Amino acid sequence: MKIKNFIIFGKNKKLLKEISKIQDFDGSNDDGYTIYVLPHSHCDHGWLSSLDEYYHGTVKYIISSFINELKNDEKKTFNWAEVGFFRRWYESSSDSTKELVKKLINNGQLDFVTGGYVQNDEASADLDDIIEQMTQGHLWLKEHLNYTVEYAWQIDPFGYSSITPTLFSKMGLKGLIINRIAYDVKDYMKENLEMEFLWKGSETLNKDSEMLVSALDRHYDYFPKVLDPRNNYTVEERANSFIEYFSKVVKTRNTKTVLYISGDDFRYFNAPKEFRYSRGWMDYIRERKEEYGIKEIRYGTVSDYFKQLKSEILNEKLQLTEIDKDFFPYATDYDEYWTGYFTTRPTMKKQIREFSKLLRFTESIYSLLMLDNKYNQNDQISNDITGARDLLSLAQHHDIVTGTSRSYVLYDYYLKLKNSRLLNFKIISNLYNLFLNNNNNDGNNNNDNNNQDNENYYLYNNFIDIDSLSNNQFYSIKLFNSLGWEINQHYSFRIKSNSKVNIERLKLFDSDLNEIQNIQINSIQYDNQCFNEMDQYILFSIISVPPLGFSTYYITVDSNKSNLNQIYYGTNYHRLKGDIRFSTKEYEYEFSKRDGLLKSVKDLQTKKKDWITQDFQQYKAKKSGPYIFEAGKLEDTLNYPDYYLLFDGPLVSQLSMIYNSDNCSALSIVNQRIYKNKDSATPLFTEQYLETSYSFIGEMNRERVIHYTIDSIKDNKAIYTDNGLEPRKRTHNRFGSTTSNYYPTLHYVYLKNNDANKQFTVYVDRSVGITLRPENKIEIMLHRTIERDDWKGVRWPTIDTSRIDGKLYFNLDSIENQKENEKQLSLKIDHQPIYLIKKISNIKQYQKEYKQSYSGLIKSLPNHIHLLSLKTFSNNNMGLRLLNLGNDNFETKNKLSLNNYFKNFNNLKETGLTFLDIVKSDISDDKIKENYKIDKKFKIKSGQSEYNYNKYQQYNQNNNDDDNNITINPLEIKSYLMKIHEKQNNNLQKIQVNNSIYNNLIYNNEYVHQNNSEIYKDVLNSIYMYDFSVYPLELSHYNDRGRFKPSDKLKKILLASIIPGVSALVLITIIIIVVIRKKKNKKKGGSILEKEKFIKLKDMDEEEHNE
């Protein structure tokens, strides 16, 4: 039927005409729109306030408020994303409240979306850590609420990675809502009705990495602002405003299923008020729904929305666009590209990654102990590991790992990480003694004494103090390798001694007490008065550690040693007389006599030379801030060292450049280092790259970068970055700005010369921003210190003057070799073995009592199979994840018999990626994926997979049999659970924990703020990031609570800019006053009925607030 029999006035009449044009609406309810109003509150785990401030000051009241409101009205719904906050609230709630929560879930009123511990960032968070935080959330929801998440939203991360649909699909999620898409891309999607689309994360995984996505038309706050309960408008005005907005939204979509996000950051503190106002305008529209072409408008959940959306897509046989790119970079205007946060707070980014690797060690060692089947689980250790998982998960939040929170908030997280770091070493120390002790007792049967003195335990310290050894004492050094491959590599031990004589008489032994002759000792005083009192050295050697296992080395001082060790102090040059050349088995690296930076690389087999140069530069910050990078003028930096130091020994050749050498606080260091080994014909992986290390502080209003210029590549238009799983192709837009061509990378970036079959790869040690500059320059941003804010939310500048110590690893190889090896090389660089030390007096007896080596595997895994994680949970479940790094030989390489590699692995059950039951593929989802189209004109031209390892096949997800024979396809992650003990076994030993280790630590998960420097001074304050580092780790911070107060200089600039425009400002003010008065008069002219209703609602709100 046609619309008739009612009168339409003013704005409503115009709106109705607009709506009637959409999709030939004929006025019948069957053809109308279904609108889901989705109440939500976006609660950051740290941003403008700290984690605890947010929870105690706001979040716990928000949750209590909306839970109570849902209890009182079954038609109301709520969507909640942040499991970390909800868990904290739930576990402090009464039993009756917990039962109420379960009832609301069963009623379909409370919906958990995504289900992660936090809403993770997608540019800076690593693959392992995203999986970790999602697992923490999913397992908690299942264990405590019997809830399995089906749909996701990532409404606040600043751009979207292709890894998201890949991982989320593997976690059983069937749909995703996103928001922050670059303004011009979103405009294109609206115009072409592509706001609902299919997103394919990986060309290799194809449909297994694809999911249905719906993009918000605009931000997730109340819009139009008329609908915000904080603003005073009548119900009619609110309804009219929504209909006007609704008429625009439906023009951007092919479907008649519409969602409206009702909420904002930290809203629903007063849930009755928020619901009352939205219900008012919804009821108004519902009474007139035929006028507006609306079939239904109601509160709903993300699950409600996607179920209806999928039903409509199938019934109408709608064809959705398939997108295989990612959504980087995010932009809010032509000069507002959110690419600065790719690098913001680099020291914090590095600490989060280091903590992740340390937790991997802890988890692996504990799991090996449990597999040994001699011990029951220890509740204290299990709880502490869970606490560390929680902390790592929290750090993945999109305002923490990005560095876009207030300085004091980030420092709060930094201190939490420091505390938990020490806690992890304490756990490892206890586990070492339990696991390695051949007597299989409580670990205290040491030949030195039988009490719980800390010297009975393996301890962590950043350096080995050999002066503390008495006569005939040794340090036992236990190295642990968490990777599934045997490791043979160069390794450095940091040695401390006030005696040069002791260093000269130092001896290193292998586990069979054979002295290792092939060592090199470098001083790290850098021939500088700033470090004269340091008395520290680097001991280089070549080590071997079995897969997922331990190996033992010994250090002692032999006063009778005849052939004294040579100590390399470095030959000091004020200026280099000529270019410096270092050679490995395969390449010769040439460094310029002008500045010591890379000049060329020559292949020693072909004798061909590639001109590859390095340089450091920095941008003068223009409008940059925590989020935004706006490229200013480039200027040279670190180009003329004060002096050089040349180290050339049997294992390492190193050229050090020292800058600002007379200023100890501002001194900068750059090292060029290669590793070599004449004793082996086959190069070790450490010989496959040039290592460039750097140490400098942040310089105000500068954004420092390094360039690698590849002269042999001509007219290159693409650079390749790593999304954590695979490389992505970044096509350079020559018409775009520098900042619009910036992209994030997690582990490496490279250029290719296809004609010469060469790949030039730079491996990075943390997430960074990169771009391709003219003349084939790889640009990597290393540090940024900004005195201004970009006014995107933080409202304080990013004044990060922290010293940053870092390493870059340059590799030159054939394209084929790198395609096969680049990911494994990245993992070996990232996951170097860890060591703990223990003093011993009777080495013979010690060798009888303690294992000298051990491997948790029967043999190394194949090169393309990565042991992604091995974890033990408190419910006696052990989780295993394996990743196929990618290969072209599908038939022969992807079948794996776990019994050939793993010990004591029985009755494995394949699970989803978060260790929940595999979610069977939904027929409706498959049908939607089958009916797709390709938009060749789509706005995004960058970010597709670099390789497709095999043509798509229908994988069998449950393809392991009784013999643990599995098939794991290229780029696929397989997850398994196994019961280690069916129940607590009284015949097994109880783990005894020595709580006196690092006895200054408060052994719990509470964060200790007071007197922090005193608590950790012995261990944590002597942490050096790298072997070359001479400054202990420190994160600069300042108190940026409250509103930002500009400096006097900034005030003068602002005043100078304001005075010329005073007259214009006065005029604008007058116009604003007139507009406001008109609005007030308009409100006063509303109907008496609506006016009375508004006053009544306002009075009710004030009464509730007073109560």
Kindly report, residue by residue over 931-950, the tens digit of the pLDDT.
999 999 999 999 999 999 87
**In this predicted model, what pLDDT tens digit does every residue of 169-208 receive, in sequence order?**
999 999 999 999 999 999 999 999 999 999 999 999 999 9
Give the E-state strand segments of 139-187 in sequence order.
Answer: 151-154, 175-178
Whether the per-residue pLDDT at 47 is higher than 70: the answer is yes
**CB-neighbour burial class of residue 908 (10 A; exposed 0-12, middle 13-18, buried 19+):** buried
What token pair was written down for 315? 């019934």
**CA-to-CA separations, 616 to 580, 581, 709, 764, in angstroms, rounded:** 19, 20, 11, 16
Give the E-state strand segments of 900-990 in sequence order.
Answer: 909-911, 932-933, 944-945, 965-967, 973-979
- Please say whether the beta carbons of 351 and 345 come within 8 A: no
CA angle 632, 634, 640 (to 5 degrees): 150
Whether the per-residue pLDDT at 776 is higher than 60: the answer is yes
Q: Say how far apart CA 858 and CA 81 lie, in whole Å.
A: 42
**In this predicted model, what pLDDT tens digit does every residue of 289-303 receive, in sequence order?**
999 999 999 999 999
Whose tokens are 């024979």? That residue is 965
More reliable by pLDDT, 132 or 1021: 132
Task: State mean pLDDT over 637-654.
Answer: 97
Whose tokens are 């408190």? That residue is 874
What token pair was written down for 894? 């992807």
Whether the per-residue pLDDT at 1072 is higher than 90: the answer is no
Whether the per-residue pLDDT at 1100 is higher than 50: the answer is no
Whether the per-residue pLDDT at 973 is higher than 80: the answer is yes
Q: In what order do the strands lie in the sheet with 652-659?
A: 571-573, 643-648, 652-659, 668-675, 690-697, 803-813, 758-764, 748-753, 718-722, 727-731, 944-945
Task: State mean pLDDT over 363-386.
Answer: 89
Which amino acid, 665? S
| Per-residue pLDDT band at 1070 (split at 50, 70, 90) | low
Which amino acid, 190? K
- Please say whether the beta carbons of 997 and 381 come within 8 A: no
Q: Which helix (H) or strand (E) holds 880?
A: strand 877-884
What token pair was written down for 519? 């060592």
H helices of 302-345, in order, are: 302-315
**In this predicted model, what pLDDT tens digit does every residue of 330-345 receive, in sequence order?**
999 999 999 999 999 9
What token pair was written down for 706? 């390094």
The reply to whether 44 belongs to the active site is: no
**In this predicted model, what pLDDT tens digit does every residue of 538-596 receive, in sequence order?**
999 999 999 999 999 999 999 999 999 999 999 999 999 999 999 999 999 999 999 99
Task: State mean pLDDT over 476-493.
Answer: 98
- Please say whether the beta carbons of 198 and 323 come within 8 A: yes
Task: State mean pLDDT over 92-113.
Answer: 98
The CATH H-level (homologous superfamily) assignment of domain 572-830 is: Golgi alpha-mannosidase II; domain 4 (2.70.98.30)
pTM, to two decimals = 0.91
CATH 2.60.40.1180 domain span(s) along the chain: 461-569+834-863
Q: Say how far apart CA 824 and CA 828 lie, in whole Å.
A: 6
Query: For residue 780, what pLDDT is reported?
Result: 98
**CB-neighbour burial class of residue 225 (10 A; exposed 0-12, middle 13-18, buried 19+):** exposed
Whether the per-residue pLDDT at 1010 is higher than 80: the answer is no
Query: For residue 377, what pLDDT is reported?
Result: 84
More reliable by pLDDT, 59 or 1018: 59
Q: Beta strands 567-568 and 33-42: pairing type?
A: unpaired
Whether the per-residue pLDDT at 1000 is higher than 70: the answer is no
- Please say whether the beta carbons of 924 and 310 come within 8 A: yes
| Per-residue pLDDT band at 483 (split at 50, 70, 90) | very high
Point out the least confidently predicted range of 143-147, 398-402, 493-497, 843-847.
Answer: 843-847
Q: Say how far apart CA 428 and CA 388 lie, in whole Å.
A: 13
- Please say whether the beta carbons of 8 and 16 come within 8 A: yes
Query: For residue 985, what pLDDT is reported?
Result: 59
Query: For residue 1011, what pLDDT is reported?
Result: 36
- Say whether domain 10-114+149-320 belongs to CATH 3.20.110.10: yes
| Per-residue pLDDT band at 984 (split at 50, 70, 90) | low
Q: Which residues contact 454 (CB under 8 A, 6 or more apart)?
A: 994, 996, 997, 999
**In this predicted model, what pLDDT tens digit does every residue of 211-247 receive, in sequence order?**
999 999 999 999 999 999 999 999 999 999 999 999 9
Point out the least confidently predicted range of 62-66, 408-412, 695-699, 994-998.
Answer: 994-998
Report the C-alpha dihedral over residues 320, 323, 329, 331, rounded to 10 degrees.
-20
Whether the per-residue pLDDT at 276 is higher than 70: the answer is yes
Whether the per-residue pLDDT at 1003 is higher than 90: the answer is no
Point out the least confidently predicted range of 14-28, 160-174, 903-917, 1023-1037.
Answer: 14-28
| Per-residue pLDDT band at 1001 (split at 50, 70, 90) | very low
CA 586 to chain centre: 35
- Please say whether the beta carbons of 776 and 754 come within 8 A: no
Query: For residue 12, what pLDDT is reported?
Result: 52
Point out the least confidently predicted range of 626-635, 774-783, 855-864, 1067-1076.
Answer: 1067-1076
H helices of 517-593, in order, are: none
Q: Which residues contact 898 (CB under 8 A, 6 or more apart)?
A: 905, 908, 960, 964, 965, 966
Q: Which of 794, 1036, 1042, 1038 is nearest to 47 (CA)?
A: 794
Point out the least confidently predicted range of 620-624, 689-693, 859-863, 1052-1056.
Answer: 1052-1056
Query: For residue 997, what pLDDT is reported?
Result: 61
Point out the least confidently predicted range of 554-568, 1001-1015, 1028-1042.
Answer: 1001-1015
Q: Which helix (H) or strand (E) holds 422?
A: helix 407-436
Which amino acid, 515? E
- Please say whether the beta carbons of 168 and 126 come within 8 A: no
**In this predicted model, what pLDDT tens digit does every residue of 685-734 receive, in sequence order?**
999 999 999 999 999 999 999 999 999 998 788 999 999 999 999 999 98
Task: State mean pLDDT over 478-498.
Answer: 97
CATH 2.70.98.30 domain span(s) along the chain: 572-830
* Composition of the chain by helix, strand, coil, percent to 5: 30, 25, 40
Query: For residue 990, what pLDDT is reported?
Result: 66
Q: Say how far apart CA 53 and CA 56 lie, in whole Å.
A: 5
Query: For residue 889, what pLDDT is reported?
Result: 60
Q: Say how far apart CA 658 and CA 330 lie, in whole Å.
A: 38
CA 885 to chain centre: 19
- Say whether domain 461-569+834-863 belongs to CATH 3.40.50.11400: no
**CB-neighbour burial class of residue 894 (10 A; exposed 0-12, middle 13-18, buried 19+):** buried
Q: What is the mean pLDDT of the chain?
A: 88
| Per-residue pLDDT band at 1075 (split at 50, 70, 90) | low
DSSP string, 277-332: HHHHHHHHHHTTHHHHTEEEEEE--HHHHHHHHHHHHHHTTPPEEEE-S-B-S-EE
Whether the per-residue pLDDT at 1106 is higher than 70: the answer is no
Whose tokens are 């052994």? That residue is 1003
Q: Which residue is catalytic, options 126, 156, 324, 412?
A: 156
Whose tokens are 């993770």? That residue is 120
Q: Which helix (H) or strand (E) holds 830?
A: helix 815-830
| Per-residue pLDDT band at 445 (split at 50, 70, 90) | very low
Which amino acid, 232? N
